[in-house]
Structure 1
Amino acid sequence: MNTEELKKLSAQEALKFIKDGDTVGLGGGRSIAYLIGMLSEKPELKIKVVTPSLNTKLLCVKNGLEVLPTYCVDSVDVAFDGCDQVDADLNALKSGGAIHTREKLIASMAKDYILLVDREKVVSKLEFKHPVALEVITESLSYVKKCLSEIGAKVEIRTSNNKDGFLISDDGNVIVDAFFENVDDISVLNQTLNSIFGVVGTSLFVDKVTKVIIAESDGIEILENNKR
């Protein structure tokens, strides 16, 4: 199977976790796009969608799915997203989209938070080949950079080729990329990052993921987290 076929396979499996009447959280990416297309072909499933992604919102509307503003919702039945990497303890790193704070809000509200991945994204322990992205209040930028440097991170403020200056989140904050090496305790790192004043949210997801749907050429494997 090629990559697109694997993404379709994971979306088909995700569909099994959605029931009529559910409020469903949808992240971004190709697997989610395939899932939206499949949901549009099942009019018997009367669902409502919340999403941190403008692209996903537009795709849902185009496919006739009802989208609610996240601020109107305090509970989500099931939510789906992708990631850069996930480990055997279901710790996940999601660095690319700079919408991780809103993603984590939906993950926190979800009774079931499920990642859709290819086998290559699953490791025994997070390797931190990608940075931990932090959404940071602009006024706290220098302080946060100092705190990150003190715990051994290489720090870069994210910019965009399409915009002069810093990349700004949908909520008006700066995105800081923190690169780590040789992380011994992921839970401790997570606690440390979240304790830095001025950090709104991070792209390190600890104790949020309940299941991982892994698509591979010979079928589907599902990892489950029974601790949450």
Structure 2
Amino acid sequence: MTDPIVIMKQQVGKAAAEYIESNSIIGLGTGSTTAYAIEHIGKRLQSGSLKNIIGITTSFQAEVLAKKYNIPLSTLDMVDHIDIAIDGADEVDPRKNLIKGGGAAHTQEKIVDSLAKKFIVVVDGNKIVDSLGSTVPVPVEVIPKALTPVMEKLKELGGNPDLRMGIRKAGPIVTDQGNLIIDTKFDYIDDPKSLETIINNIPGVLDNGLFVGVANLILIGEIVDNIPVVREF
């Protein structure tokens, strides 16, 4: 029997993919739930219910998946707009602000998601929090030579920074841009917008995982009475 969690993620991804219209440029995000959206977009193209789509990927993972499902791709310097983007999140607060970057792709994700006319976030119910930073740290992408001074600045801001290390590999995680990730835990984030700006103004920081005022629609997958359901806000 298929895991209800897997079915739920599939349904959330499918629900997001149904928002895609023909003749549009779409941002393709990163993560396990978004992967199902990419798969369903590919199936819609194959069936003919969707035509003339161009994808803009946010990571190497998304690029590999898009090619697997025969979604035509382009790059940001070849398009003049993005109609809709689909991506996941690690936390979502009641104002639709996000923490992203668990997959170390938040810099490219923020570029693509912020450019989209409509940004749809796909998550499971445990990603919904009362305030950002409750369950996950804020990922900060930093150029390698600036690692130590940036970590000191993050401490001054009240954060507890920790260099993200690889799993089943020696050494730190390296982003698609060749940089490092500092996961920074804050006891409480009362003003995500200000913190996002302050962190990004630290010399050596490329971008951080706070996404404030970017998301338009949140699709939430949940298990109710052992049945996967999708709700939105």
- The reply to whether TM is greater than 0.5 is yes
Partner of 1:27: 29
Amino acid aligned to 2:188: N
Equivalence map 1:111-130=2 (5 Å): 111-130=117-136
Percent of matched pairs sharing the same residue: 33
TM-score normalized by structure 2?
Answer: 0.88
Partner of 1:59: 65
CA distance in 1, matches of 2:17, 2:42: 11
Q: Residue 96 of structure 2 aligns to a residue in which SS?
A: coil
User: Is 1:198 aligned to 2:200, yes or no?
Assistant: no
CA distance in 1, matches of 2:105, 2:80: 19
CA distance in 2, matches of 1:184, 1:42: 42
Partner of 1:222: 232
CA distance in 2, matches of 1:74, 1:155: 37
CA distance in 1, matches of 2:4, 2:65: 23
Equivalence map 1:1-228=2 (5 Å): 2-43=4-45, 44=48, 45=50, 46-217=52-223, 219-223=229-233
Deviations 1:45-65 (A, max 9, x none): 121111122222122212111
RMSD between superposed Cα atoms in Å: 1.9
CA distance in 2, matches of 1:82, 1:59: 15
| Contact 2:30–2:105 under 8 Å retained in 1 | no
| Contact 1:211–1:222 under 8 Å retained in 2 | yes
Measure how far apart 1:74 and its partner are. 4.0
Q: Residue 112 of structure 1 aligns to a residue in which SS?
A: strand
Q: Residue 165 of structure 1 aligns to a residue in which SS?
A: coil
Cα gap change, 1:165/1:33 in structure 2, threshold over 3 Å: closer, same or farther?
Answer: closer
Q: Return 5+ residue gaps in structure 2 as ranges.
A: none
CA distance in 2, matches of 1:51, 1:201: 18
| Contact 1:7–1:118 under 8 Å retained in 2 | yes
Measure how far apart 1:183 and its partner are. 2.1
Amino acid aligned to 1:21: N
Q: Which deviates more, 119-128 or 109-118?
A: 119-128
CA distance in 1, matches of 2:140, 2:40: 33
Amino acid aligned to 1:178: T
Q: Residue 159 of structure 1 aligns to a residue in which SS?
A: coil
Measure how far apart 1:217 and its partner are. 4.0
Amino acid aligned to 1:195: N
Partner of 1:226: none
Q: Return 5+ residue gaps in structure 1 as ranges.
A: 224-228
Deviations 1:169-202 (A, max 9, x none): 2112221111110222222222211221211111
| Contact 2:5–2:223 under 8 Å retained in 1 | no
Q: How many residues align?
A: 223
Cα gap change, 1:159/1:55 in structure 2, threshold over 3 Å: closer, same or farther?
Answer: same
Measure how far apart 1:162 and its partner are. 4.3
Measure how far apart 1:150 and its partner are. 0.6
